[in-house]
């Protein structure tokens, strides 16, 4: 939203958009827990969720999810005042619930790749809330998160692959060797870093962002390569959660740089689009 506004957007717009995002994400996650309550009961990582423990009944969860979905859609349309953001919010919910949870998750190792697109939608929603339109810049932000998702989530899947295997969820680390997964993570990470650099001329970013994106990208790619080397040596000592946490740090650094960039002097701009 800051990049779209080329500075701080109105505070009321910023806050109402964030609230709408929480409502939308809450709806998607509640639907997910309703649909996945059978496998959540099998997996150690998820067996404490309220539908599994009985704190919430399936009908209560379905009602809660549906109310959040309706409210979030109306919220973006009326309170935020952006029909486009409202449509994109619905697309995100449908993408996560239908495409990922209902269609892909239990059928293909590509589940988190294409299903993860729902998690990329907030950048489009935020841009639409500010500009009432879309452009190449938010598409690139979308792609950064899209390419980031596999090297972010697959280390977690490596850690809990026995859980996923027991629940018969075909995450890539369940079906392929750690070396194969690490190779794919390197490929996605490389595409992600390349996209962060393409953003420089398209969005007119400064040398400050360019330097941070390059250094952070090199650091994260090195982490992916290190995981690959550990997978070659010893499957029992992958230290996969290190890369999982590093992925969160990486994305935070890159988007913090994006947030700061509009406030820097124009003389630092690398390339004017």
Paired tokens of 146: 């899209």
CATH code of the domain containing 101: 1.10.357.140
Do 153 and 79 share a domain, yes or no? no
Domain match, 230 and 200 both? yes
| Last residue within a domain, chosen from 103, 131, 159 | 131
pLDDT tens track of the chain, all 273 residues?
999 999 999 999 999 999 999 999 999 999 999 999 999 999 998 999 999 999 999 999 999 999 999 999 999 999 999 999 999 999 999 999 999 999 999 999 999 999 999 999 999 999 999 999 999 999 999 999 999 999 999 999 999 999 999 999 999 999 999 999 999 999 999 999 999 999 999 999 999 999 999 999 999 999 999 999 999 887 777 889 999 999 999 999 999 999 999 999 988 998 766
125 and 139 together in one domain? no
Q: Does residue 168 sit in helix, strand or coil?
A: coil
- Do 120 and 139 lie in one domain? The reply is no
How many structural domains compose the chain? 2
Statement to judge: residues 166 and 123 lie in one domain:
no
Considering the domain architecture, whether residues 139 and 127 belong to the same structural domain is answered as no
Asked if residue 43 lies in contact with residue 163, where contact means CB atoms within 8 angstroms, the answer is yes
User: Which residue, 93, 111, 131, sits at the end of a domain?
Assistant: 131
- Domain identity same for 142 and 62: no
Same domain, yes or no: 126 and 143: no
Q: What residue has token string 């449908």?
A: 94
Q: Which residue has the tokens 């690139």?
A: 140
Take residue 115 and report the two structure tokens written for it.
């299903």
Domain that holds residue 107: 1-131
Q: Which of 100, 131, 162 is the last residue of a domain?
A: 131
């Amino acid at each position: 939203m800051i990049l779209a506004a080329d500075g701080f957007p109105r505070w009321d717009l910023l806050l109402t958009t964030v609230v709408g995002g929480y409502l939308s994400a809450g709806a998607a996650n509640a639907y997910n827990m309703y649909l996945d309550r059978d496998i959540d009961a099998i997996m150690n990582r998820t067996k404490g969720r309220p539908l599994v423990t009985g704190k919430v009944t399936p009908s209560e969860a379905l009602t809660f999810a549906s109310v959040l979905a309706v409210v979030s859609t109306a919220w973006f349309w009326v309170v935020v005042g952006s029909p486009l953001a409202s449509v994109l919010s619905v697309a995100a919910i449908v993408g996560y619930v239908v495409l990922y949870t209902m269609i892909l998750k239990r059928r293909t190792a590509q589940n988190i790749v294409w299903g993860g697109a729902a998690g990329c939608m907030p950048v489009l929603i935020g841009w639409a809330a500010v500009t009432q339109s879309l452009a190449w810049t938010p598409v690139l932000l979308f792609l950064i998160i899209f390419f980031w998702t596999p090297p972010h989530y697959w280390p977690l899947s490596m850690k809990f692959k026995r859980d996923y295997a027991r629940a018969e969820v075909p995450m890539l680390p369940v079906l392929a060797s750690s070396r194969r997964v690490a190779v794919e993570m390197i490929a996605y990470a490389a595409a992600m870093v390349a996209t962060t650099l393409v953003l420089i001329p398209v969005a007119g970013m400064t040398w400050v962002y360019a330097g941070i994106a390059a250094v952070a990208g090199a650091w994260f790619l090195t982490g992916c390569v290190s995981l690959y080397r550990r997978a070659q040596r010893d499957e029992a000592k992958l230290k996969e959660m290190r890369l999982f946490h590093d992925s969160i740090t990486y994305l935070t650094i890159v988007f913090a740089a994006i947030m700061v960039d509009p406030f820097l002097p124009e003389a630092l701009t690398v390339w004017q689009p």
